[in-house]
Amino acid sequence: MKKITLATWLLLLSPAVLWAEGEENETSPDAPAGAPSVIQSDVPRVMPTPQETRIAGLVNRLSENHAHEIETLTAEGEEFLGLFRESESGDPQGCVVILHGDHGHPDWPQVVSPLREKLTQHSWCTLAIEIPDIRNRATPVQIQVEPTQDTQNDNTPELPNEATVFARIDAAVALTQDKGYSQVVYLGYRTGAAYALRYTAEKGTTNQALILIEPRTSLPVSEYDLAQNIERLRLPVLDYYFNRNTLVERFANYRQAAANKRTNRSVNYTQIDALPDARYDPAGNKRLVQRVWGFLKQNTNQQSQRKELPEFEKELFYKSPID
């Protein structure tokens, strides 16, 4: 085999090298001398809109058989979706406003859909509302350090989209009142629970109830900061979580400690580690509904559900004895 000399290699490679250099130095006619090449395209970029896509798909799915549930609400000049279901009894107790988790929707199959459907069988109406997605989810994780007593203050940072979500809750409550329901329960799932907790704490809500299911927070609000809102609550609370790991347990401990510091002990705070119920199947959903309904039955103003039997003319059922 003949040896290939260095000069031969240079001759073989030179066309490719010259072609590559020519392409790198190629610029558009209008570009200034020495400017790097820029590939231009007239095709507009399409930004993904995952929430709009999810909501449009949900509306399309429900429109065929459940169009009567679809409500269009407005807050801050922006329309958003609500799914309303009437109580299936003649003596409704009130309405449950349901907040889904981040990147979900008002008929999310885990937790949200079973509760919004089944609670109506237990004398409650339900209104599940659309919550905006939390942007910039790639924010670096910050190590949470429990502050000392001296460093604690009341300047707790807000959750992302907090003002928007609060305005939507206000609009949801107004809708339930327009439909004749005077008693409202706030129920949140995951980040929806964080919004519900912050809302009721900030508003000083009383004479109603709050249900937190698998609560999760979002930066810049740490788990410790979010838990401190429980100390300010003035209404009964069901804290329903799934103790899957030490981080979840620590967050639950923060919430229980804050509840223990409340000065108003006349309202109930119930924390349940419901890990066995964390099965998204009919059995798990049934137990979840039963526990939520049981809590509401014991911790809300219950209207009388026992109706007096109507009076009938006795002659309809028996005849008087013959004289």
Overall average pLDDT of the 188-204 stretch: 95
Q: How many CA atoms lie within 13 A of 97 on its CB side?
A: 32
Which tens digit of pLDDT belongs to each residue from 239-277? 999 999 999 999 999 999 999 998 877 779 999 998 877
Which tens digit of pLDDT belongs to each residue from 198-242? 999 999 988 899 999 999 999 999 999 999 999 999 999 999 999
- Backbone dihedral region for residue 197 (phi beyond 0: left; psi -120 to 50: alpha; all else: beta): alpha
Residue 284 to residue 282: CA distance in whole angstroms: 6
Whole-number pLDDT of residue 64: 81
208 contacts 241 by C-beta, under 8 angstroms: no
Q: Which of 64-68, 199-203, 251-255, 292-296 has the lowest average pLDDT?
A: 64-68
In 3D space, the residue among 51, 85, 46 whose CA is nearest the CA of residue 69 turns out to be 85
Give me the domains of the chain, ranges plus CATH numbers: 70-131+156-299 (3.40.50.1820)
In this prediction the pTM is: 0.74
